[in-house]
Structure 1
Amino acid sequence: MFLEMIKSISISEKEIEKRFTFTNVEYLRKLESLDKSLVVMLGHYASYEWINALQLYGLKYRTYGIYKKIKNKQFDDLAKRIRGRFGGTLITTNKTTEVILKNREKGILGNYAMIADQSPKLSRARTWVNFMGIKVPVFEGSDRLARKMDMAVVYLHVEKVGRGYYQATLKPITEDAPNEPKHAITRKFVEYLEEQIYNKPEYYLWTHKRWKHRNESIPKNAEIIN
């Protein structure tokens, strides 16, 4: 996976189209016909960095990648080079809401890709979920944004089909986010990701310390997603 991230610096459009294919782009075109922006939720699973290949399918909407700015400028510039290839646009996490609102005011609709299995700082851990049998804090930015701004939501299901080759399928979470119960979008995302990990755990990026707060006391005012 790390070697593939490095390869992302120089891989050609033709090569990435061959190595990272989408099985149901027609479903995404159907969602675009709803005339609302889309949240693509994904985890640290398989070659998730290659989602920027989505921009190569001639879609109507522009693809935006949400990422956390890296303190080291050289590494941050490298991340932007990798993730911003093939016409996609990168947005830092602290600018996400602002950019989406500005785009909506201008009538610009987009596909917003968000890695949703990050672990928040303990001081900001207001929502906890049972993930792989362990209660851990979870970010709910994707959930809140989708419900507040009426965005459709899908899960990016990536399967490794050969050495250096992947197939991605967009699995529906909701087309009517404002009417979803609180936490329902997050719960569905966790279910999809757990299913993939249980099926093929070797393709999950275990090094990103998803369970680093597992032994911490859950605040009394925290919300628990069952």
Structure 2
Amino acid sequence: MFFIRLISKLPFWALYLISDFLYVLMAHVIGYRRKVIIENLQKCFPEKSAAELDAISKDFYRNLCDVIVETFKVLDMNVEQMQQRVQTTNLPLLTDMLDAGTPVLIMTTHQCNWEWLLPGCGTAFSYPTHGAYKPLHNQFFDKVMLSIRSRFGAKLIADTQILRESLRYKDEVRVVALVADQTPSSPKLAYKTLFLHRPTAFFTGTERLAYSLGYPVIFAEMKRVKRGFYEVTYHDIAKPPYDKNSHQILEGYVRQTEAAIRRAPSNWLWSHRRWKHHVDLD
């Protein structure tokens, strides 16, 4: 932990020198998950040329390396720095509901620096923020990531406990935030739809959580303005009362995620084996 905190105290210019070195190492020496990245891009953007896909993959590697060093930097950042580097274009869409006494469920995706989104929320408004997370197998790095994600007051809840814990705080005016684009371990029990030209399975747990809580759901889209600076834009997905026989929340989330990816392809996490399971839409 001492070494990581030492890294976090480096100025941004020094961290980005490390990021540039990591880029060369990961993109050109090791070829980190190169096959997965290219295959994902080819199948999701069949209309793009090989040169365009190569440019997207290179930008992806650069962005990923920035995310790595920026994530550690959170441990040394103060509120003013986070507010300066993560700004929201339409904060009233969220805070108007909170000010009216309505808790909100935020769904987001692995886009730009998703590790700055929760700390960014923690500095953008004064309401409690609860975030779902999947515990890491490595206890040391699990402790590090918990420290980073809760840096500005967010309460982290393990994904296996999120429904129970959320129901405990159901009537508290707060934000519950989840990254909802992970691959389900069992596609048979998932919601299936066409996503980026590909049959794709999505967890239904987030949708069930929204139904149980009765919260309105919004999507948080992150945009990279320049190196180390981001903008968050909120989009409405759905509001109660909900038709539990439909998948309006998940379908809305999928379309918002797809649109965000198309606007800035290199900002998404293409190294993730998102389509490792075969999915039939029948």
Instruction: Assess same fold via TM > 0.5.
Output: yes
- From 163, 171, 182, give the equivalent of 1:97: 163
Residue 97 of structure 2 is matched in structure 1 by: 31
CA contact (8 A) 1:68 1:93 kept: yes
Q: Secondary structure at the match of 2:192?
A: strand
Answer yes or no: is 1:137 the counterpart of 2:201.
Answer: yes
Letter of the 2:271 partner, please give it.
T
Q: Is the counterpart of residue 204 in structure 1 residue 268 in structure 2?
A: yes
Written as runs of structure 1 = structure 2, the 5 A alignment for 1:9-88 is 9-51=75-117, 52-59=119-126, 61-88=127-154
Contact 1:153 1:177 in 2 (8 A): no
TM-score by length of 1: 0.88
Evaluate the alpha carbon distance shift between residue 126 and residue 54 of structure 1 in structure 2; reply closer, same or farther with a 3 A threshold: closer
- Larger fraction in helix: 2
Letter in 2 for 1:204: W
The residue matched to 1:14 in structure 2 has which SS?
Answer: helix
Retained in 2: the 8 A contact 1:151–1:177? no
* AA matched with 1:58: F
Structure 2: runs of 5 or more not aligned: 1-66
Instruction: Tell me the equivalent position of 1:195.
Output: 259
Separation (CA, whole Å) in 2 of partners of 1:84 and 1:124 = 34
The equivalent of 1:221 in structure 2 is none
Give the equivalent residue in structure 2 for 1:170: 234
Instruction: Report how far residue 169 of structure 1 moved.
Output: 1.0
CA distance in structure 2 between the aligned counterparts of 1:175 and 1:14, rounded to whole angstroms? 33
Structure 2 letter corresponding to 1:57? A
Cα displacement (A) at 1:149? 1.9
How many angstroms does 1:201 deviate by?
0.6
User: Residues 4-37 of structure 1: CA distance to partner in whole angstroms, max 9, x if unpaired?
Assistant: 2222222222211111111222221211144332
**Contact 1:21–1:166 (8 Å) recurs in 2:** yes
**2:177 match:** 113
Unaligned runs of 5+ in 1: 219-223
Tell me how large the CA RMSD over aligned residues is: 1.9
Q: Deviations over 1:168-199 (max 9, x none)?
A: 01111122252476211111111111111112
In our comparison, the structure showing a higher alpha carbon Rg is 2
Q: Which moved further from structure 2: 185-194 or 10-19? A: 10-19
Q: TM-score, normalised by structure 2?
A: 0.71
